Amino acid sequence: MRSSDLKQHRTINLSPPSLLALGFLGLILIGSLLLMLPIAHQGDISWLQAIFTATSAVTITGLSVVNVGEAYTVFGQIVIMFLLQCGGLGFMTFAILAVMSLAPKMGLKQQVMAQESIGQTSLKKVSFTIKAVFLYSLFFEAIGTLILTLSWLREYPFSEALFYAAFYSVSAFNNGGFSLFPNSLMSFSGQYLITFTISMLYIIGGIGFLVLMDVKQHRRWRKLSTNSKLILSTILGLNLSAFIVLWLLEASNPQTLGLMSLSDQAVNAWFHATVPRSSGFNSLPMEQMSDASTLVTMFLMFIGGGSLSTAGGIKVGTFIIVLISVISFLRREDEIRLFNHSIPEKTTFKALAVVCITAALIVMGFMSLLILEPEHDFLDLLFEAVSAACTVGLTRGITEELQPASLIILMLLMFAGRLGPLTLAYFIATPKKSRIKHPPSEIQIG
């Protein structure tokens, strides 16, 4: 057998979803091993706790079964920060950057893999997009680190303030939600610069890198792509609507906004209106919020942020496409239009698939939690399932109380949510094309 044939025989051909899944599993395994090292933690840390923390970090969720600031040493916290960065930018991005550093040009197969992993439509733009993702992340994280360092210098020494700032900048921009303080950001609910900086980091990270690139290139609304206009207008509309609704719902609640000044109410209402985009931080006790506010928060978590971003959820583009499709059907319009452009039917089907698969994941996870945790509140368990499947990281305070089997369920939800519903579907069942055309049939709907 020739060497070329032997090399071809030994090559394992993996689809991009399979490679992406294995890459994240590898990162979780490495992160778990590092977190179990004696220099990474203080006191006793079980394997389950280490694996859960690594999974939550790689999937940029933010749920935790231990107090990260107390359970892990500086080395362990650096490991978590590295896992957040890898999970936020994506394993494929780092892998392709490594390949690009070794070879001037990428092969066609590597470009196709990169194209599917980052959602880019043009093969020629793959390398440029990945470089932009890396540079944009460093740029915004550096600005966040600078502002937060200056803010925390009033309370901590320079080295400690710098480390806190770097950790929170990485955690916020990547929508990770990990905090070094036991009560997340509740201690800083009245420090506007800190809460505003962190909120801007996770909002920008949740917009999507393609949109950021489009804004930088054109800088005028009319020149932006239809996708960019859709993402920006939808995120702005959701944020403003949620801000008003949550403020009205919690203004009379003495456990949250009720006892705050008007300015503090506005800042914290804005923070909690934008935080369900996927960041996982909280400046108010989530378990004290009203049921109506909790429902609004779950709805926002389900939607998530923009595509090719560090946010989770079904993505705002998916939400708008489904919404506009329903409106177009009710109006009996021949086509689905958005900013004077028609939306292909395939895009609508894809959006519906994402919604259905994500909803199915949440329902299955929620049912499992109900069976395993009968003593916990119905709403708390539903909130936990939505938070995990949409990789948000918000919790109503029950994560540390869950039994091992429930934590495994949450890890599976986080992993599936980070891979993406469509990627998971392709991973389970590779689509097949049939040459056979079947006759149409009328099915009664509604």
Mean pLDDT by 10 residues, the chain (446 residues): 48 64 90 95 91 94 91 95 88 57 53 54 64 87 96 92 95 91 84 91 88 86 86 92 95 92 92 87 90 95 86 89 90 81 83 90 96 94 95 91 95 90 56 67 64
Which of 16, 216, 54 lies closest to 135, judged by CA?
A: 216
Tell me the DSSP string of 291-359.
HHHHHHHHHHHHH---TTSS--SS-HHHHHHHHHHHHHHHTT-SS-EETTEEPPHHHHHHHHHHHHHHH
Measured CA to CA, the distance from residue 323 to residue 304 in angstroms comes to: 15
Question: Tell me, what's the pLDDT at 126?
Answer: 65
Kindly report the CA angle at 117 between 30 and 125, in degrees rounded to 5?
A: 125
Q: What is the pTM of this model?
A: 0.86
Which of 342, 340, 385 lies closest to 360, judged by CA?
A: 385
Question: Do residues 353 and 361 touch, judged by C-beta distance below 8 A?
Answer: no
Question: Tell me, what's the pLDDT at 80?
Answer: 96
Measured CA to CA, the distance from residue 351 to residue 343 in angstroms comes to: 11
Question: Tell me, what's the pLDDT at 6?
Answer: 47
Measured CA to CA, the distance from residue 422 to residue 424 in angstroms comes to: 5
Question: Tell me, what's the pLDDT at 214?
Answer: 86
Tell me the DSSP string of 251-263.
TT-TTTTTTS-HH
Question: Do residues 213 and 119 touch, judged by C-beta distance below 8 A?
Answer: no
Structure tokens at 233: 């207008």
Query: Helix, strand or coil for residue 207?
Result: helix
Count of other CB atoms within 10 angstroms of residue 162: 17
Structure tokens at 435: 């040459």
The backbone torsions φ and ψ at residue 26, rounded to the nearest 5 degrees and listed phi first, read -65, -45
Which of 268, 281, 243, 254 lies closest to 189, judged by CA?
A: 268
Measured CA to CA, the distance from residue 241 to residue 235 in angstroms comes to: 10
